[in-house]
Each structure stands twice: as structure tokens, then as C-alpha cells.
Amino acid sequence: RCNHRFSTHTQTHISALIHIYILILDAFTTKLLSSCCKMSDLMSEKITIVENLDKNREPVPEMNAIYFMSPTAKCVDALIGDFKSKPKYKAAYVYFTDYLPDDLFNNMKMYCGKYIRVCKELNMSFMPQEAQVFTCDNPGAFWSIYSPKSQDKKKTLEKLADQLVSVCATLDEYPGVRYKKDSNLDNAKTLAELVDNKLARYYELDDSGKKKEKTQAQVLILERDFDPISPILHELTYQAMAYDLVDIQNDTYNYKSKDGAEKQALLNEDDMLWVKLRHRHIAEVSAEIPKLVKEISASKKQPDGKITISNLAQMMKKMPSFRRQKDQKSFVSVQDLAVGSDVEGVKVKDPMRTLLPVLLHQYSTYDKIRAVLLYIFSVSGTTDENLSKLIQHVKIEDERDFILNWKELGVPIITPTSCSFLFLRDRSQEEKYNLSRWTPVIKDVIEDAVENKLDIKEWPHQSESPAVWNGSGAVSARQKHKASAQDERRSGSRLIIFILGGISFSEMRCAYEVTQSVKSCEVIIGEPRYKIADDGLPNKPFYKNVSNRQ
């Protein structure tokens, strides 16, 4: 029976399959493997052919095949179809990304068991997007969880819980689990219970047959309503602006070389220049690129990576310079609405007056929707009459649901409450740019978690990690567990953040910033799906162009 636990990197497993030449992938594992390996990595292990499980494939009966696929009925049926009548391959080495249900296992065993040489379950049912960012790559999760018409919320949360356990297992962590208590929604609480129960079952016995102790790690699960502002604001860092303003598809930037040839550059961890610049403010990058061009010209060689300096410069030219904006006052007004005070630190007393300059500017419909939402968030909801006036003024009657749907995320929209801003940590000393004064609430949460300062009433423990957890990485002798390869490569503890309503680039940046400043704690952040722009309620999405590639 499949019983292998994935606790190392993908390439470690692939390297064990040296004499197998055909690799067959489904849609999910194609993306997963692409995020971990290059074709050259596969070829170095003598895998010379990569095929799509869902497409018709020519039989190669003299060769063995690796099947790396999701544990679904569709994938298992495709496998069975390859061997049921006339076998397409000599033998099959089958690897599933997650637990294979018994009925599917029995079908596979019945119809093609004699051709299967290896069958293992790898805990890899998530997508590593960046060094410290992951997604469950579940396109329908957002709708399933938040739509009042959804019929499969429980099933979706179960699947997400399995994927979060997979993340923890990959990191060799048995963490404590906490969630943000919410008066409007119970999704975070439900998911925390599911994750904790599944972790307990998974770690009931470790590889040596002993019960695994909790490790120095925590999982924090949140709804989106803890901070509705961050996904609404335009983030002015290089990465966010690139995705916001340049046509980048599937993390690929298409450009023309000097000779006019069409080329592609992947914006990923392999490009050190991209990694170096992506979290920097656009003003800093604008000043940095001319210096880099000069340095490269002097040395007459490009740095390592796929994106050359000249291509970065081309990308920059496609982004409108904020120094050429006709009216920066409206951008400042947006920050005032978000932060609740002006650049001098004076509290905004009349949010409507702050909103008007933005609505009067020639912005796109979606940017005006952002501004209206920021106003509503700043006053903790408005009246139906006031909202109707705003919608008529901005002429967004057809997009009314873009605003109203936020109530399904637990965010007050229509409510006659008085003006109240989110309580935010004073970061005025950290502010460098007037147009980027907002700091995502998740940064406060992460810093409090690392310092063990989260209010237990607001952040109940579903289960606790070792009591000494404070981000320092200290572990008592009684609690110390056998060091894994991952432990040896890092010092300190891990904090895994999972936001059910999706994450924005600004929140991803915060995970890196706190990790860099604290050093003793690695922060990893994830969501159900990396891009949820086209999901939402029936006919009207929650977001759709309302955030920097939320």
C-alpha cells in the first residue's frame, strides 16, 4: 500500500528513478514540477520524454513510464486506460501528490496492478510559488467557501486541510495551530480544527515507529476580513507594479531582443536580479537600473539570470512614471483613506471629503471601485442610501455587486455604524514614500506571533506548539526532535500563515521582511489560490481587477 511520506525536495525523488525514460504528468503536476525542476534537471536523470496524461499518447511498449499525478478518479482512469487492454508501456512507476482513496487504489490494483512496479504517495499537493510563498492552486476554492450558493464548502475545506498538512509534512513540521476568531465567519475555525486533526493522524507514528512530538512551528489561519484594505490598494513595489501594468502571463514576461526576436523571461527564483529587486519600491528600482546598466556596460557581461538589465529597463519603460502623474494628490488621498491620517499624521475627520478628489479624477472604473471600497472600509460600513449615491456618482451601477459581495467575506458594507479605523501599529518612522504609507495588517500579526504577543482571546489555540515558542528557535531538551535536512539548513522556528481569502503582493513582501529582520523565524505565507481575479459569486466576482494580482 502507498505509504511513502514526502519530506525532501521533488528532485530527490526524481533522482531515484534513473532508468525510467518517460514522465507522464497531469495539469497540476505539470505546474508543480515546473516550479521545482527544469527540463535539464529531468534530462540529467535520463528522462527524455515528458507527456500529458490527458492527451492521446503513442504507445512505447519497450519503455517504462513514471506517472506523477493527482489522486483523482480522472487520473486513475487514465492510468488504467493505458494498461487495461494493450499496455502502452513496459511498466509503470506511479507517484501521487497526496493520499489515494481506497476505492481508486483498488480499481488501479485490479486493472493494472501487475504492471505497477512502484506506487507511492508524496505529500506534495500544494504549489510552491516562491521561496516563502505557496498556493493550494484550487481555482474554485474562493467561490466554494464564500458564495452563499455553494454546496461544497465542507469538501473544499477538507481538501485545503489536506494540502496544509502536506505543506507541514514537506517542511517536516508538526506545528501548533491557531486561528483568528471571527464574529461573522467560522471558516478559519473549521479549517484549524480539520488541519489539527489531520496533522495528529499523520504524525501518529513517525518513520521510526514512535509518536512524533510537536515541533517549533505554528500555523496561523485567517479570514480575509482581518484586513480588506491591502488587496484593494495598488502596491508600488517592483513586483506588484510589473504584474499590475505589464502583460505578464503565468509569471512569464514576453519581450523582443535587439534583433527583433521574440523571447521570454520567467519571473522566478532562478533569476537573482528579479529576486533582488522585486520587493523594492518602484522609485528605488528606477534609480537602481541606470546604475546597473552602467556597471554591466563597464564589465561587459550580464549577471546570472534570465532577465537582462536591458530587459528590465524595457519593462520599466512600460510602467507609467509616478513623477509624470497629472495629479498625485488623489494618490495621497487614497493613502489617507487607508491609513486614517494625512502625511502630517493628522487624523482624517471627513473620509468623504478625502474620497472626492479620487472620484473626480479620470481613473478607470475599477480604480474608482477601489476608492469607494476604501471609503466604506474606513467608516466600517455605510448606509444603503449613501452607497447608492456613490454608485450613481461614479456611474458603476453594473458593478454594484463588486462592492456588495464583500459582505460575504465578513466585511461590513451596509451598516449604519460610526466612523472607526483599524487599529494599526505606528510605523510613521518607517515611512519613506507618501504614496506607500500603508503597511498590511499581516505584518503586525506576524511580528506579534514571533514575539508571542498574540491575544489568546482573538487568536485561540486549536493546539499548542512547545510552550517556549517565541520565535527565538529555542527548544528544550525534552522537546528536541531529530534534526532533518531542513532543520540543518535553517536556525530557529517557522511561522506558516494561511489566508483563506487570498494574499496580495504586499502581504507576500511582509513575510520576507519579517524573516529578514528577525532571522530566527522563517515566515511562510500561503492561500487557496495564487490568483483569484476571476472567481467570486455567481455572475459577479468579488475581486476581478480590484487588486495587484490578488
pLDDT digits (tens, 9 = 90+) for 14-70: 444 446 579 999 999 998 888 778 788 888 887 889 999 999 999 999 999 999 999
Residue 122: exposed, middle, or buried by beta-carbon count in 10 A (0-12, 13-18, 19+)? buried
pLDDT of residue 8: 38
Q: Are the C-beta atoms of 309 and 289 separated by less than 8 Å? A: yes
CA separation for the pair 126, 130 (Å, rounded): 12
Set of cell numbers at residue 157: 475545506
Q: What contacts 194, CB < 8 A, 6 or more positions away?
A: 157, 158, 160, 161
Q: What is the pLDDT of residue 312?
A: 67
Residues 56/10, Cβ–Cβ less than 8 Å: no
CA-CA-CA-CA torsion sign (392, 397, 400, 402)? negative
Q: What integer pLDDT is reported at residue 429 of this predicted model?
A: 67
Distance CA 226, CA 205 (A): 36
Closest to 442 (Cα-Cα) out of 379, 345, 384, 524? 524
The pLDDT tens digits of the residues spanning 172-199 come to 999 999 999 988 899 999 999 999 999 9
pLDDT of residue 87: 95
pLDDT at res. 308: 59
pLDDT at 294: 73
Identify the pLDDT of residue 303.
53
Q: Is 24 helix (H, G, I), strand (E, B) or coil?
A: strand
User: How many Å is the Cα radius of gyration of the chain?
Assistant: 25
pLDDT at 329: 64
Using 70 as the pLDDT threshold, list the residues of the chain that sit under it. Answer: 1-20, 205-210, 293, 296-329, 416-424, 428-429, 431, 467-491, 530-550
pTM, whole model, 2 decimals?
Answer: 0.83
Res 345: pLDDT: 85
Cβ partners under 8 Å of residue 424, min gap 6: 339, 340, 439, 441, 444
pLDDT at 120: 93
